[in-house]
Amino acid sequence: QKEVEQDPGPLSVPEGAIVSLNCTYSNSAFQYFMWYRQYSRKGPELLMYTYSSGNKEDGRFTAQVDKSSKYISLFIRDSQPSDSATYLCAMSARYAGGTSYGKLTFGQGTILTVHP
């Protein structure tokens, strides 16, 4: 079983739709959660960073963390064609010795297409 599971999609939605992207994880050591967006032939760019359970909002994007269920989500409101990209969840943990060792564990990525 992978430490982080993410539905690869692809997901196709009409412009203006609300998009929900999700990841589940099995390692309870994960405490820090990120969402990266990657356009075709580009490097990933950080969208959202969360630590606490609950919601964090940034414009049209909302990141949600439920540590008790080991489940994180990214919601995109009023989706636009420019949101078409691959969305990667990523997680880090404080391992023995109190360091993350620079390691992120990524989900498989969800390919999203928003059509006009």
Binding site for another protein (CB under 8 A): 8, 31-32, 34, 36, 41-46, 49, 51, 88, 92, 94, 99-104, 106-109, 111
| Residues across the chain | 116
Which CB atom, from 10 or from 16, has the smaller least distance to another protein?
A: 10
Nearer Cβ to another protein (31/73)? 31
Strands (E), the chain: 4-6, 11-14, 19-25, 30-38, 45-50, 54-58, 61-66, 71-76, 85-93, 105-106, 110-115
Nearer residue to another protein within complex by CB, 4 or 114: 4
Q: Quote the least distance from Cβ 20 to another protein, whole Å.
A: 20
| Shortest reach from residue 66's CB to another protein, in Å | 19
17, with CB counted inside 10 A (0-12, 13-18, 19+), is: middle
**Minimum distance between the CB of residue 81 and another protein, rounded to whole angstroms?**
21
The strands making up 4-6's β-sheet, listed across from edge to edge, are: 4-6, 19-25, 71-76, 61-66, 54-58
Q: How far is the CB of 92 from another protein (least distance, A)?
A: 4
